Structure 1
């Protein structure tokens, strides 16, 4: 150990949870690197002596994964493989007091907005001039762009406001500057993320400004795809769709988590919308922007959910025919208003309901993919794997959506855009060949 302390510190950052956490880790990496501290992201080499675990505290499975990861790192410290273990992120924000008592081997705990305090552990300064600068951990051709922090919504199941606080928008100038910086690093696609995209600007500019932000980002030279994630349906700013139609570099894609379709459940979840209102919104979106790819996420197993509610979700999916659907099983989170309700559906039943709902969507997805066979799409190449290339159309985001499997005798490079004729469809993926 004595010899180790004479060596220069090397920090490994482990990120758990969502893309918003990933951006936080990238910002921390950038700040450490600017202070001439050696930093890596999720290194498996064990050639570092300090670890920062950026945790997730969203649902039970994520919390369990975060705690297990912390314990794994503490075990390495006990064996003399690490000098320091620091923990930050949502789990740390939410349960710091309990965790400090249960895992005393951790050297320090930090909340979600305590980056300057983390840097102090390394005798490093928070460099305000680096605002927006970060060390990317994604492949260099795409990156996430976090446009705001926190959420003002009061959904009964959600603990995010407890961990991330109230909604705070970033200025449009800072976001455009960051987008330009990302392009200089080779980024061609940015995915706009926030706890709630459509609320953007209300705090800073006193009105919803997502459409104006998109106008400015679309003008950034070299930015070929802009993608929208996490748009709340209530009071959706329809002018966003007009901007999307106007600019070819804004993907015809919208991720709008709806969470349920039954009015009983939507009311219990405090979602501020009815099924009729949601169906009308989807119809209006498709009428304004034909061909748009709509992604949504749903929750099953919420307290009091009945078989009729589940059937209503299945009927809703068959009627709406979303392009992409993800599903979560309900997690009973202390501090939320739903925690006062009895968590009355067993875990295996929640899972069975999720599977049942996804079987409906699986068939819809396959049918929609079949419609693409014989058509040509612009595809971005993400990687080469097992002798074939994997890419995405503008209708697919990273990790959560379909991939296009491409057989090509020529060499393709990640970040390349190619035209691909679809030759085969699967439930959730496509196959195709490059055409000139």
Structure 2
């Protein structure tokens, strides 16, 4: 999404009329920005390309260009399979795409973007690529090694986003906690957080994709001391059972994960911890799955997402036998999510009667949908507000929780 916003910003600056996912059929050129991470994403990307190629065949489009991870990874095969695409571009070939529009890459526009999200929040990519060698992950193949963006550049980007109306920024990278090691020879996520927290107009800063190994504990001090940094941490663990952590090359043990979670909670009481897990990695046993469930019962994460393992060529896990059928992977994922669903409901019930500051995202079917500081966009819980008062997206309001559901809350304005 961020890459598409940067491309759109560059096109616009070159006087090219551009729209993100246009509903109208008044465009003559389409750029499909693809994902090549796991099977479902690849399938969605290919289907989108085929839909656009079909429109071109019907004479409704002049050109179809494809960029992004799928194109980076499978360009040779795709060119043969879908010859109707006019040009394919990799993840780092933005200047080449612009040339197709007789446009120049404007270096002075670094950090300029045309937001595709509602204007009150934005994702901020602080680095590109990853130096880890997790067995299941194809990201380094498509995005290369970790490259941090300088702190000054990110502060300037945040200031520009505020001018566009942004109040909440979500920090993203393939690995957030590695930030700065390449540029400054030491981890500097804490310094970046402080610098961004100083930007006037940013009310919430949220951290996504923090890698647990060699976790920089100093970021918790900043989180605790700065009121506009959400007490929220998204830390993908991928598994809990030691045999799986070892096979996945996660460089951490079950005990170290437990110690880390306890240390984080001791440092920032009330922090919301989100994680993601993978089921069906080659060799995973039913005991391993039970271990994950027992760990969730013990640790009680606030938010959990579960993905089924996708066998990706070029990764070290590709040499292993993908020995668990798709239905069984799904069944295991479901089983884990059922445990989490109970935990989520219990945690939500504890919030009934309490008052929370929320940000309003949108109005839908006559009611407002908002989020607390413990909820990120799309992946987490929503707070449903029934009120006749007129609210706008981006408004911050106080809400008393009146009802709890598995994953959402309902409340009234205070």
CA distance, structure 1, for counterparts of residue 24 and residue 59 of structure 2: 15
* Residues in 1 aligned to 2:102 and 2:247: alpha-carbon distance in whole angstroms: 48
Partner of 2:239: 260
**Residues 28-427 of structure 1: pairs in structure 2 closer than 5 A:** 28-427=7-406
The 3-state SS of whatever aligns with 2:155 is helix
Give structure 1 stretches of 5+ with no counterpart: 1-21
Structure 2 segments unaligned to the other structure (5+ residues): none
- 1:4 — aligned with what? none
Alignment deviations for residues 36-90 of structure 1 (CA, whole Å, 9 cap, x no partner) = 0000000121110000000000000110111111011000000000000000000
Q: TM-score, normalised by structure 2?
A: 1.00
Deviations 1:298-352 (A, max 9, x none): 0000000000000000001001100000010000000000000000000000000
Instruction: Give the secondary structure class of the aligned counterpart of 1:397.
Output: coil
Secondary structure at 1:350's aligned position in 2? helix
* SS of 1:295 mapped into structure 2: strand
Q: After TM superposition, where is structure 1 displaced by more than 2 Å over at least 4 residues in a row? A: none
Query: In the comparison of the two structures, how many residue pairs are matched?
Result: 414
Aligned-residue CA RMSD (Å):
0.3
Q: Secondary structure at the match of 1:32?
A: helix
Tell me the distance in 2 between the aligned counterparts of 1:401 and 1:38: 34
Q: What is the distance in 2 between the residues matched to 1:45 and 1:223?
A: 33
Residue 351 of structure 1 aligns to a residue whose secondary structure is helix
Q: Counterpart of 1:38 in 2: which secondary structure?
A: coil
CA distance in 1, matches of 2:277, 2:25: 39
Q: CA deviation at 1:269?
A: 0.2
Give the TM-score of the pair, scaled to structure 1.
0.95
